[in-house]
Amino acid sequence: MKNPHDIILRPIMTEKAYNGFEGKRYVFQVALDANKIEIKQAVEAVFDVKVESVNTLRTLGKIKRQGRYSGRTPEIKKAYVTLKKDSKTIEFFDGMAQ
């Protein structure tokens, strides 16, 4: 198994993510090659919680231009992680959404 810290890259802190905290739903940027099972095991290992479901989303990078040169912004993969009802919350996110 991969290192859990290589799978979970960073939390996504947006208004939509803040609204999900009440329902124990958290959003993370994850590695592009990670699957749902690896994401679930990584979140359970790092934060010591019980995961109910994992939904993933890949976004392609946008094409950006600078004069006559064009390039693409990086592609990312997000994971929406829902915890079980009897699971504790993730302490890192406590107190952020008031």
How many domains does the structure of the chain reveal?
Answer: 1
CATH for 42? 3.30.70.330
pTM above 0.85, yes or no: yes
- Does residue 96 sit within a domain? no
- The one-letter code for the residue type at 71 is G
pLDDT band at 97 (very low <50, low <70, confident <90, very high): low
Residue 88 burial (CB count, 10 A): 13
More confident residue, 84 or 1: 84
Close Cβ partners of 47 (under 8 Å, ≥ 6 residues apart): 90, 91, 92
- pLDDT tens across 54-85, in order? 999 999 999 999 999 999 999 999 999 999 99
Close Cβ partners of 56 (under 8 Å, ≥ 6 residues apart): 30, 36, 39, 77, 78, 79, 80
Q: Which domain holds residue 38?
A: 4-86
Beta bridge partners of 30: 8, 77
- Does residue 28 sit within a domain? yes
- Does residue 39 sit within a domain? yes
- Does residue 26 sit within a domain? yes
pLDDT of residue 95: 73
- Does residue 34 sit within a domain? yes
pLDDT of residue 98: 58
